Structure 1
Amino acid sequence: MEITGVSDLPLHYGRVPNWLIPIMRRLSRAIMDVMLLEWGPGKVVERLSNPLWFQGFNNVIGMDWDSSGSTTVTLGILKEVTRPQDDGLAILGGKGRNSLNVPLELRKLPGRFDVDVEKLERTSRLVAKVDSTLLQDGYELYHHSLILDEKGRWGVIQQGMNLETKFARRYHWISVANPVDELREGIAGAYNGVVLNVHESHEAKEVIIDLLGEDPRRISRQYLQLMSYIRGNSIESWLGLGTLGAISREARMIYMKPVDVNKVMKILNHVREFSPTNLQDALLLGLGPSTVRALSLISDLIYSEPPSYRDPVNYPYDPFKYAFAIGGKDGVPYPVRRDVAFEVIQTLEDIVSQTKLDKKDKSLALNKLRELKLGTSKRS
């Protein structure tokens, strides 16, 4: 079966109504209880790491089906209602400055969490670097949440905003060993076309590592000459300029936003002092978007190892149908129906309470939930 769908995340102004927030909290907690009983915390991490499954969850609790706020509000609500000591699940970080709190929050986790804090802190930083530096798609990150279970299985959800289009993208990751060389779980957002995507080019990454060992003055000189070439100088004028003469006459010109050469020189000098042997270390030493753009251009036009220019956004499935559960904050597909929301909450809470009273009846209670779901599907 082919699964397709679309998820645009435009910037919506305004706040969640005060009357809706308690409903979202209670419904989120009730759903979380059922998921933890049914799957355990590791599976919850996996599900939330699916870009549009997350969007479907957002729709069920009454948030906008297509809003950039669906990420920040839903994760904020989930963080509020999650109890790490009881659930074996934690949600760290958040929007804006809260995203910087991941290291501190990792060190405050309850004792039941058997995790390598320093490794997770490094992973969190690398994931942010990959989606802001190795992928440059026009979206500036402003939200970063780390979702973690007690055994160290993790997921990252972060969001960026395109300040010109006012659309957002949500980036999802799940427990990869090396974010620099392994792919995300997925990206939700509108397709933009050509972007700078060093993340998906193994050859370009190898050239960049080699270039980091070069004299920064030489790299700066090559970059300025390449920019001059792109602006219209004939390639014949380059003959006899060492490696610059290797530029292909058929090279495809991909526009890259110009960089501040002095800033790039400063970063290159700093990184070179530590002689990193891999891109992970270079990124954590301060290698940023401007420097990677310059090095990518050199890798492409001089060494014939271009980065990928493919936009990696994808769409696992369309979550809009889940907006029909209780309605949406902005009235799409209809205003939130409080009576339906409280009926759903009460049903879920009763099932969970019954299961907790007698663990032997867990399967029976969950079967009742499935029967309820099937009956609802038939009526709709």
Structure 2
Amino acid sequence: MRRSGVADLKLHGGKAPSWLVKRMKPMAKAICGFIVEEHGPLELLERLADPVYFQALSNVLGYDWDSSGSTTVTCGVLRSVLSIEEHGVAAAGGKGKTSMKTPDHLRALEDYGLDGAGLGEISRAVAKVDNAAVQDGYALYQHVFFVDVEENWTIVQQGMDGDSGDARRYHWTSQTTDQFIEEPHTGMISGAVKTAALDMTAKESEECRDISVDISQEEPIKIKRLFEDIKPYGESTLIPWLDDYSPRRELQSYKVFPKRMNWNAVREAYERQPSDYSELLFINGIGPATIRGLSLISEMIYGESPSWADPVRMTFAFGGKDGVPFPVKRKEYDEAIKFLETVLQEAKMGRRDKVVCLKRLKRFAPPIPRDSDNIASPEQCAS
């Protein structure tokens, strides 16, 4: 199960206009129906796992490229129009409190022979990784689980950063790997890069993950002593029981130590003796503060630092925003648009809707320079 991409978007409040949602639904149904009819349900899931394609689809349906609503509304529309009976694909979850109902929605799919409980565990694990193992400042508030009858799946979830006013979208797919923990990205898109973020999924965090597991196997009273003896960032971090010849280590300002850890979860980890980091991470109660605390103990006491580089440092931006250090991957961008253009030409929808969608597709992220612009005009496609 690999995270297939990330996108940063501006956080916009309010609801989508009812007239827009009403127009989006038949368009989305026609587009998805054609993809499934021509390529099968798995192709639809793989397209939704691609952040570039997802963004292009959202734009075609009527949303601005940099709006957080492009995630929540598009996912809501897709959830309302997709069905096992018609498409072989269903969607569970949603925004806010509805996201907490994802396990219930998945269990309801057991009527179609799916393993609702097992899919629910996957849903929980994916949310846990992006909320606790990757601490990039975005609190998850939207989680949608797309699944087909073969239990292939795509997850699209979104978090918000209330300070910056940004939202970040995460895409996951079952198609690329069978583990959650190390280097889960297969492709990312972002409009912003954080100065620093704790990323326990990075390859560079491997030793820190191992030390964190070792620490979790110690008596909780010892872990608590380590936790309390490490001073806050910005102060001398000489550990009291080290001899005078030991090097001093200082915490940079962004390595904020948590105010507390979940000591009940730490006790649970000690009793269970996790054998690897995934077992540790998925223990109930092991959340962002405890993961952060263990990683900083690993760094300060044992000298094994986690990665503090934002996991979207290798991503690409929509729209050429000022200050974005990386360009869009034009080949992937053009491929997504070309595929969607073909779908729109063949999908069963009215001529007027088709022309509108193709015009929106032409306007998708216009500031981005591309090698060529060989998308047919709306007038040519509708004729």
Given residue 232 of structure 1, which amino acid in structure 2 is its aligned partner? E
Contact 2:7 2:169 survives alignment (8 Å)? no
Aligned residues: percent identity?
Answer: 35
Given residue 270 of structure 1, which amino acid in structure 2 is its aligned partner? E
Please list the CA deviations of residues 21-45 of structure 1 after superposition, one character each: whole Å capped at 9, or x if unmatched. Answer: 2110111111111111222110111
Given residue 97 of structure 2, which amino acid in structure 1 is its aligned partner? R
With normalisation by structure 1, the TM-score equals: 0.77
Q: 1:259 to 1:184 in 2, by over 3 A?
A: same
Partner Cα separation in structure 1 for residue 71 and residue 228 of structure 2:
40
Given residue 144 of structure 1, which amino acid in structure 2 is its aligned partner? H
Matched, 1:12 2:12: yes
Show the counterpart of 1:178.
179
Partner Cα separation in structure 2 for residue 34 and residue 315 of structure 1:
30
* Aligned with 1:197 (options 184, 196, 199): 199
Partner Cα separation in structure 2 for residue 212 and residue 155 of structure 1:
32
Show the counterpart of 2:139.
140
Q: Note the C-alpha offset of 1:169.
A: 0.3
Q: Note the C-alpha offset of 1:277.
A: 2.0
Show the counterpart of 1:51.
51
Show the counterpart of 1:36.
36
Matched, 1:226 2:230: yes
Partner Cα separation in structure 2 for residue 182 and residue 63 of structure 1:
31
Q: Note the C-alpha offset of 1:236.
A: 8.4
Partner Cα separation in structure 1 for residue 239 and residue 186 of structure 2:
45
Please list the CA deviations of residues 196-242 of structure 1 after superposition, one character each: whole Å capped at 9, or x if unmatched. Answer: 111112211111111111122222222222225x442363865339x
Contact 1:42 1:149 survives alignment (8 Å)? yes
Matches within 5 A, 1:97-246: 97-109=97-109, 111-113=111-113, 115-175=114-174, 176-189=177-190, 190-200=192-202, 201-228=205-232, 230-233=233-236, 235=238, 239-240=242-243
Q: 1:57 to 1:199 in 2, by over 3 A?
A: same
Contact 1:133 1:289 survives alignment (8 Å)? yes
Partner Cα separation in structure 2 for residue 19 and residue 255 of structure 1:
45
Q: 1:233 to 1:61 in 2, by over 3 A?
A: same
Show the counterpart of 1:84.
84
User: Secondary structure of the residue that 1:56 maps to in structure 2?
Assistant: helix
Partner Cα separation in structure 1 for residue 209 and residue 30 of structure 2:
45
Partner Cα separation in structure 1 for residue 84 and residue 319 of structure 2:
28
Given residue 233 of structure 1, which amino acid in structure 2 is its aligned partner? S
With normalisation by structure 2, the TM-score equals: 0.76
Please list the CA deviations of residues 229-268 of structure 1 after superposition, one character each: whole Å capped at 9, or x if unmatched. Answer: x442363865339xxx75x44666363333233x432321
Q: Note the C-alpha offset of 1:106.
A: 1.6
Matches within 5 A, 1:305-344: 305-313=304-312, 314-315=314-315, 318=318, 342-344=353-355
Structure 2 stretches lacking a partner, 5+ long:
1-5, 321-332, 338-349, 359-374
Q: 1:168 to 1:9 in 2, by over 3 A?
A: same
Partner Cα separation in structure 2 for residue 144 and residue 341 of structure 1:
33
Partner Cα separation in structure 2 for residue 8 and residue 220 of structure 1:
37
Partner Cα separation in structure 2 for residue 22 and residue 184 of structure 1:
34
Please list the CA deviations of residues 311-349 of structure 1 after superposition, one character each: whole Å capped at 9, or x if unmatched. Answer: 112545747999xx9xxxxxxxxxxxxx975244899xx
Please list the CA deviations of residues 13-68 of structure 1 after superposition, one character each: whole Å capped at 9, or x if unmatched. Answer: 33322222211011111111111122211011111011121111100100122111
Show the counterpart of 1:352.
none
Partner Cα separation in structure 1 for residue 37 and residue 224 of structure 2:
57
Partner Cα separation in structure 2 for residue 110 and residue 264 of structure 1:
35
Q: 1:7 to 1:293 in 2, by over 3 A?
A: closer
User: Secondary structure of the residue that 1:276 maps to in structure 2?
Assistant: coil
Contact 2:355 2:378 survives alignment (8 Å)? no
User: Secondary structure of the residue that 1:227 maps to in structure 2?
Assistant: coil
Partner Cα separation in structure 2 for residue 204 and residue 96 of structure 1:
33
Structure 1 stretches lacking a partner, 5+ long:
1-5, 326-338, 348-372
Q: 1:158 to 1:234 in 2, by over 3 A?
A: closer
Please list the CA deviations of residues 121-171 of structure 1 after superposition, one character each: whole Å capped at 9, or x if unmatched. Answer: 211111111101111011100011111111111111110000111100001
Matched, 1:300 2:314: no
Q: 1:39 to 1:304 in 2, by over 3 A?
A: same
Q: Note the C-alpha offset of 1:376.
A: 4.0
Q: 1:346 to 1:171 in 2, by over 3 A?
A: closer
Q: 1:220 to 1:291 in 2, by over 3 A?
A: same
Partner Cα separation in structure 2 for residue 254 and residue 180 of structure 1:
26
Partner Cα separation in structure 2 for residue 315 and residue 375 of structure 1:
30
Partner Cα separation in structure 1 for residue 149 and residue 239 of structure 2:
62
Q: Note the C-alpha offset of 1:83.
A: 1.6
Q: 1:343 to 1:180 in 2, by over 3 A?
A: closer
Contact 1:56 1:319 survives alignment (8 Å)? no
Please list the CA deviations of residues 156-194 of structure 1 after superposition, one character each: whole Å capped at 9, or x if unmatched. Answer: 111000011110000111113221235134444321121
Partner Cα separation in structure 1 for residue 8 and residue 262 of structure 2:
34
Partner Cα separation in structure 2 for residue 308 and residue 238 of structure 1:
27
Given residue 271 of structure 1, which amino acid in structure 2 is its aligned partner? A
Q: Note the C-alpha offset of 1:88.
A: 0.8
